[in-house]
Structures are given as C-alpha cells and as structure tokens.
Amino acid sequence: MIDQSTIERILDAANISDVVSEFVTLKKRGVNQLGLCPFHNEKTPSFTVSPAKGIFKCFGCGKGGNSVNFVMELEQLSYPDALRWLAKKFHIEIEEKEESQEEKQLKDERESMMIVSAFAQKYFSRFLLKENEGRTIGLSYLRERGIRDDIITKFELGYCPDGKDLFTQAAQREGYKMNFLEKTGLTIKREEWVRDRFGGRVIFPVHNVAGRVIAFGGRTLTNDKKVAKYLNSPESEIYHKGRTLYGIYQAKRDITKLDKCYLVEGYTDVLSFHQAGIENVVASSGTSLTIDQIRLIRRFSPNITIVYDGDDAGIKASLRGIDMVLEEGINVKVLPLPRGEDPDSFARSMSAGELTEYIKNNETDFIKFKTQLLMGTVENDPVSKARLVNEIVRSISVIPDTITRTIYIKECSRLMDVQEAVLYSEIRKIQNKQSEDHTRKEIQEIQIQASKPAAPVTQKKVANHFETEEREIIRVLLKYFHQEAFDIENEETHEMKSYTVGYYVLSELKSDGLTSVDPNFSFIIATLEENVDNKDFDPVKFFTQHPNTEISQFASNIMADKYVESKRWSKGGAFIETESELLYLLVPKLVQEYKSKKVKLMLKKLEQQINEASKNNDTEKLMEYMGQHMKLKEVLKDLSALLGFRTIS
C-alpha cells in the first residue's frame, strides 16, 4: 500500500508532457502539445496534452485524464501499479508494507505475468554473466558474434541453463506459480513432464514501449537441424507478436529525435546497428510486417527505411512491406544490401562512419527500388514493362495523401517513360475496383449480421438531457471556484457582500433542489459543497488527480474540452473582455439556462400527463397537472426576465 504523502509526491513530479512523450511524439501547438493518439488509429493528430492543466485529451476517441490515467490506459495497469510505474520513472522511493499472501493472490493476472517475466529476465541475465555454463557457452557465443558488453547490458541479454527444468525449479523456489510460468510460455507442462521452453538458448528479452519485459526470443547453439534456430514466446495476455517491435524501447528516443526509423528483421540486426552507433532501429522479429507494427512506428515518426536481407526472401519481404507502409500514409524508403548480406553481417563488416555513409548514398524511394529490381528482367519486352508499371502504380494507388501520390506519379512517369495521364487512368481503375470490393464486402457483412439471431436487449444507461449544461457548470466551478465575482445585497442587513463563483453556483443549485442523473456530477458538487469555505482546496488538482479513475477522467475531459466563446461577448468581430472578467454575467446566465432547460423538460412531461388524464377523463388529476403547469410557466417567465439572478440570504 502506498501512503498518501508519497502519492502526492508522485503526482507532483509526474509532468504530463514527460510521461506522454515516452510513448507519443508531441509537437507544440500554442500553449498545448499535439500528437497522434496511442489509443486509436488516426492519421491526423487529435491527441492534445495541456502541460499547464496536467491533463491529456483525445478529441478523436474521447479518452482523457492525468498522468496516472494515461499510464493505466496504455499499459493496462491498476491505479497503484501506475503510481509505481511513475515513481520508478521519476526516481521516487516507495515504502510499502509487505503484501500478504491474500493480497498477492488478488494481483491482476496480467501484472502477475509481467512480474514473472521480469524475474525470468533477471535470472537469465545473471546466469549469462555469473554462472560457469552461461559464461562459457552463452557469453562466448555473443562475444564471437562481436557483441560488446555494453550492448549485452543495454538489451538485457541472457542465457537459460541447458537442462530439463532448471529455470522452472528456480522460479518455483522463489514463489512464482506454475500457472503464470505456463501462461507466459516460459515453462511447458504436460501430464507426465515439465520442461523449460528456452533451455540451452541465448535469450533476447522483448520489451514493450514502457520498457517492461513481455516476452523472450531464444537462439539455440546446437547444430542439430531438427531443432528450431530461434524460438519465441507464444502469444499471451501480455504479448502479441504482431503488435510488438523488438528494440522499440531502446530506439524510441532516437526515432523521435532523428524523425526516422530503420526497420530490420531480426534481433541481432538491431544489436549490430546499435553497436555501429545507429540506434533508431527496430525489428519485426522474424514475423511478417503487420499494420499494428507500422502504426506503432508512426507514433514516433512518419519516415521508415526498410533494411531487409539481400536474398530473395528479404527482397520479397521488402516489396510486401512497402505497400503496407504506404497505405498508412508513411514515407517509405528502402536500403538494398549486397546479395547474400543481412543487416547484422553488413553492419559488422564496416565501421560506424562507413555504414552511415553507405546508408546516405544507397537508400532510395520505393519507385526506384522496384524499377531497379525489376527492370533487368524487362529488357525490350513491352508486356513485361507494362506488368512492371502496373506493379508500381498499384503501390502508388494506396497512398492516402493526394499531393504525395501526385509527386510519385510524376517520378514514375519520368522513370518508366509513360504519360502521366495514362498512370492517373490506371490508378482510377484500381481505386474503383477497391471501392467496389469494399462495398461488396460491406453488403456481405450486413447480410451475415441480418441472418444472425437478435442479441438479448441490455439495460440502457439513463439518458442525461442536461449533459452540456452540467459539464459547463463543472468547468466554471473547477476553474473559478474561489474567485469572487458577485456583490450581492443581504436581505436582512442590506449590506453588500462579495461572493465566490463556487458559493453562488452551489447556492443556486441547492435552493432549487437541482440534481443530476450523472453520478460524477453529483459527486463533484457534493465535494465542492464540503469545501466551499476551504481556501486551500484546489478543485482542479483534487478532481483531475482523484484515485477514482472515472472521476479523474471526467474532470480532465471537461478541463480539456475546447471552449468556444459565445458570440454574445463579441462586438463587431472584436473580443471585448476575457471570460474571467465576464463571470458576473456569464455564470448567472449559465445557471439560468440550466434551470430553464430543467423547467422545459418538466413542462413537457406535464403536458404528456395532461393529455393522458384528459383521455382517461380523470378530472382530479387533470386539474392537479394544469395547476402545476401554470406555476412552471410562471417560473420559466421569471427565469427569462431575471437572467438567473437571485438574492442570497
């Protein structure tokens, strides 16, 4: 358990910009910062960070909150674990009481798998460097490959002892359960036997963007062709191969700083590039490149250079990856390697300066790459040339940006000696075909859904007809709670007294018994009433950093909402006064509009009841409802005339 004073220290230290920039490339936009949302796929940035308010808000998917909410959402952590993550980042020591056995069992399953993986990494790394078997076999192999000790430490490489279940036994002795050893794939268990998945292999831990170990790759050191050269962790709750990039944690800062990412295939490719001084490099870890991996890179840079092996398989993978990258609106280049070379061997064959110079002179855009690759087989064959042009045009057609697409068409026209008009015509054909296919697929999906039995009806959330007004009331209360804005005469003493925005609004709501169906609104109003005279109470900090994530996100979203000044405060296109200077007018008007809308809804319901009573010839009910209706009409008239002002006694 983390004590409150430590929580406050963490929240004070957890600068929202520093936290978010670990995962998202932010660019300054006025007083705020803007980037691509990490929670949903978008090509136009709508993710906003407000350093002054200490909150984030995505106007695309609606997610928002403070630093803790961001880490909780992105890393799927509980509130206490998000605090621990932030404490580690900002070097704040946490003293916690030791967990009981019951508390350990209650730990989130995902977090338990993370903890087991962290233990495994430390065990493998220690075994590599400290144990005789690890040093003579694992460490010797890495040094033979020319991998320096600083790179071994940086990527936390390790070695799993060669034996049936030596690691599993060690983990169980430390109290780690077989259940989580199996779920992470570290241990394979059958009815009659148990064994370590990575026994006798050099270990490459796979880190997520936040730096936590989520999986492992293991390389065998035997020459037995029946044994897989590389073995990876299976898919699990914490590891999805198609959404992960090896080296992203170590590379993300340089990718952002240099605005470019080199994409290679394997673990050792990444290590060799880092060793050569090129650190903005990640690997697809032997899997076919996926959309999720491309989008992960795009969070840090819109520029990718593909560096795959110089053999037929590597070239084929490059060609397949090009169209996927282009379709996501990313600028793609290709670095062809000499035949038979791979990024690992090529990087080790030259100095850092020579490698940098080679990249500079040889990376090329995808059109030149495809043209140079395929032109040799075309020669003077017009049919083959047409096929090549179609291949390139197909790639250009997936580019979402019109200007970029136009530039590539001009380049293709020049290189292939084909008129631009012809290329545009071919692209239109391809896009029309894609549109038809998409429409056909949608129709098929609709037909399939229509043929399915109807889903059971679930209880709907109560509709809040006053959400807009209530959110604006909360925004004003949080922002100006202690600000004096009203000079009001006391009914008994006739003395003028200044009142704060908080006192005025809360008095107005309470005097008319106005409540909400939104529990977050009700909670905030009740808490503000308790602190209306507490000058030390900071409502923005209290609610945006509240341990209840629903409350903190609700408050953060409201504080982040785009506020458009009303035209009534403008004259001739020129803004007259700031919002804070107009509170004496704006706040009563806001409360009046809220009350008016409440009354109008009550009138609407009464009119329905009057019609119902009339149909049923219920004279008693009819007279009662009509009396209430007349009174509410008078109230509505007064509200309109008084602009929401009331004498406070």
pLDDT digits (tens, 9 = 90+) for 368-387: 777 776 665 555 667 777 77
Give dist(CA 374, CA 397) in Å, integer: 19
Average pLDDT over residues 449-465: 54
For residue 425, give the nearest of 403, 393, 398 by alpha carbon: 393
Ranges of H-type helices in 491-642 = 501-511, 519-530, 539-544, 549-560, 583-615, 619-642
Give dist(CA 616, CA 612) in Å, integer: 6
Query: 114-123, 281-290, 417-426, 444-453: which has the highest mean pLDDT?
Result: 114-123
What the block records as the tokens of 351 is 């100095």
What the block records as the tokens of 545 is 């950093």
Given a contact cutoff of 8 angstroms between Cβ atoms, the answer to whether 396 and 428 are in contact is no
Q: Hunting for tokens 């980037």 — which residue is that?
A: 35
What the block records as the tokens of 418 is 């084909």
Q: What is the pLDDT of residue 486?
A: 75
User: Which tops the pLDDT comparison, 478 or 398?
Assistant: 478
What distances in angstroms separate CA 121 from CA 11, 113, 204, 394, one per listed residue? Answer: 30, 12, 9, 45
Q: What is the pLDDT of residue 1?
A: 66
Task: Give the pLDDT confidence of 557-581 residue by residue, as tens digits.
Answer: 888 755 444 444 444 444 444 677 7
Whether the CA torsion 362, 363, 364, 369 is positive or negative: it is positive
Task: Supply φ then ψ for residue 34, to 5 degrees.
Answer: -130, 145
Task: Supply φ then ψ for residue 371, to 5 degrees.
Answer: -65, -50
**106: pLDDT strictly greater than 60:** no
Beta strand pairing call for 64-65 and 55-58: antiparallel
Task: Give the pLDDT confidence of 532-562 residue by residue, as tens digits.
Answer: 888 888 888 888 888 888 888 888 888 875 5
Ranges of H-type helices in 55-189 = 67-75, 79-89, 101-105, 109-130, 132-133, 140-144, 149-154, 166-173, 178-183
Q: What is the pLDDT of residue 152?
A: 95
DSSP collapsed to 3 states, 399-446 = CCCHHHHHHHHHHHHHHHCCCHHHHHHHHHHHHHHHHHHHHHHHHHHH
**251: pLDDT strictly greater than 80:** yes
End-to-end CA distance of the chain: 46
In what helix (H) or strand (E) does residue 16 lie, and over which residues does it extend? helix 16-20
User: Which tops the pLDDT comparison, 197 or 75?
Assistant: 197
Give dist(CA 439, CA 315) in Å, integer: 33
Q: What is the pLDDT of residue 647?
A: 37
Whether the full predicted model's pTM is greater than 0.85, yes or no, is: no
Q: What is the pLDDT of residue 568?
A: 40
Given a contact cutoff of 8 angstroms between Cβ atoms, the answer to whether 247 and 198 are in contact is no
Residue ranges of E strands in 385-477: none
pLDDT band at 245 (very low <50, low <70, confident <90, very high): very high
- Cα three-residue angle 307-430-372, rounded to 5 degrees: 35
Q: What is the average pLDDT value for the chain, to the nearest integer?
A: 81
Task: Give the pLDDT confidence of 329-350 residue by residue, as tens digits.
Answer: 788 888 888 887 888 888 888 8
Q: What is the pLDDT of residue 366?
A: 76
Beta strand pairing call for 570-571 and 574-575: antiparallel
